[in-house]
Structure 1
């Protein structure tokens, strides 16, 4: 793998680390299967790209992308909490609607950002963009991870974590299960929209189809990371999903660039499916091996 491919995969892995953080909040913390991220990711890219082309400051455009994406997550929560729609179906409906909304936002299926200033433009003067951009993105991801760790370790975060474990207990304590659901889904999709905005600015385009398979990548990062770096502490789990995202992207880049097994760029979805399957099987295999060791020691 060339240095360009390595740092490109590292940068993309860090961007999708934000997606993994969002997926971790819904699937692990809230126990809510949210598939709306497939629509939130391109929405963040669409809002940021449209705003930047319109002459808005890139940082303001990125914040706008986060807010709009968070609003989409709020809609999913509304369909579930207030309308009583099954959470899985509610997120699918939101994701489907987001496709048309994204085209409305951009006015066309895609927007190019070539020649436009982005949040990375001022930092590219520090050195070779190939090395500088992953560092800048990494700092943004680490700041986001720090924010989530502080949130989940707070009293409010404890209530949100309890909602994912036992909603009846939370309701019995007088807390609002619906409020935690609204907040967590909005926060999760806000992070995914942030990732979409960064993706558009680092790749110089926003496309309405860029969110296809985002949920699979996020789940792969969460499962792979927590399999390789197990731990019950919040900061360990957050670090694990980011590392999982980076390792996942590096593995895909290595498999495609090395020509392993005759793979080509068109085989990306195949490689993704295989890696996700391996990540799902690894915890079970690890459990069986530990069980055998225990039984062998007992004998």
Structure 2
């Protein structure tokens, strides 16, 4: 049971990545690979500041700013230099590897003798339940903020930008600025996942972000399938399903390991699972 509880907690930690990928992929139609680098950057900034015993109200804003800057740089390269967004993300992700390694000064950084957001606040005595409640409150706050933003005039303009750039441009909206802000917001959310998972696992590692974009993609794809099946149009329900997708994704991986699949084959199992989720709607259409 603890095995699946850990998967549930990890799913909540990865909610920021899922929401970030949802903004970049589903709202702006931009395949943003910056995720791998900004996720690690969030963990690196968190570890560095916590080991220097800085308070939480300093750490989280610093993580948001760092992640936002990495996304904004990708957006600037794409919009101002007219570079393909996929290539722009790869370039920034590659650069962030060196940035993260330089900031840490070594390949990994343990959080020995430091407090975390999960130990600083004690809502209940049970550590796992306390972690679950804190993660739930953080994820709920982030989701409410994103949901509120997407319902504002600015958020509607963001959503319209992904649907029809030409129409939004004709209305006088600065498309380049929208994309830069959108990518900055997406990577700030991704960095929050790095912030949470670093404190959850007790260390940060330079390679922790490799392939992590597949987690966000898998979560969004699961949510997309559910949204299509249920004919969901509400922004709030869509965001809730994205969060559910992140948790389901981790629970499936936990089930894969629990039934005895070799841990060395976990990445393969992840790829096959995402492939099945992607192809399932098309297979059902063919069957119909």
Give the alignment's TM-score, normalised by structure 1: 0.92
Residues 1:226 and 2:227 aligned together: no
Q: Describe the superposition over 1:64-89 as per-residue Cα deviations: whole angstroms up to 9, x where unpaired.
A: 11111110000000101111111110
What is the 5 A alignment of 1:148-187? Answer: 148-187=146-185
- 1:264 deviates by 1.8
Give the alignment's TM-score, normalised by structure 2: 0.96
SS in 1 for 2:117: coil
What is aligned with 1:106? 104
Paired residues, what number?
285
- 1:15 deviates by 1.1
Root-mean-square deviation (CA, aligned residues, Å) is 1.2
What is aligned with 2:54? 56
Residues 1:189 and 2:187 aligned together: yes
Structure 1 residues 270 and 186, CA, compared in 2 at 3 Å: closer, same or farther? same
What is the 5 A alignment of 1:57-136? Answer: 57-124=55-122, 126-136=124-134
What is aligned with 2:2? 4
- 1:47 deviates by 0.4
What is aligned with 1:296? none
Residues 1:25 and 2:23 aligned together: yes
CA distance in 1, matches of 2:263, 2:258: 8
What is aligned with 1:46? 44
Q: Describe the superposition over 1:19-53 as per-residue Cα deviations: whole angstroms up to 9, x where unpaired.
A: 00000000000111111001000000000100110
- Cα contact 1:48–1:58 (8 A) shared by 2: no
- 1:124 deviates by 4.2
What is aligned with 1:249? 250
- 1:93 deviates by 0.2
CA distance in 2, matches of 1:123, 1:21: 25
- 1:258 deviates by 2.4
Structure 2 spans left out of the alignment, 5+ residues: none
- 1:288 deviates by 3.2
CA distance in 2, matches of 1:124, 1:284: 47
SS in 2 for 1:143: helix
What is aligned with 2:280? 282
SS in 2 for 1:206: strand
**Greater gyration radius:** 1
CA distance in 1, matches of 2:107, 2:16: 24
- 1:285 deviates by 2.4
CA distance in 2, matches of 1:59, 1:251: 34
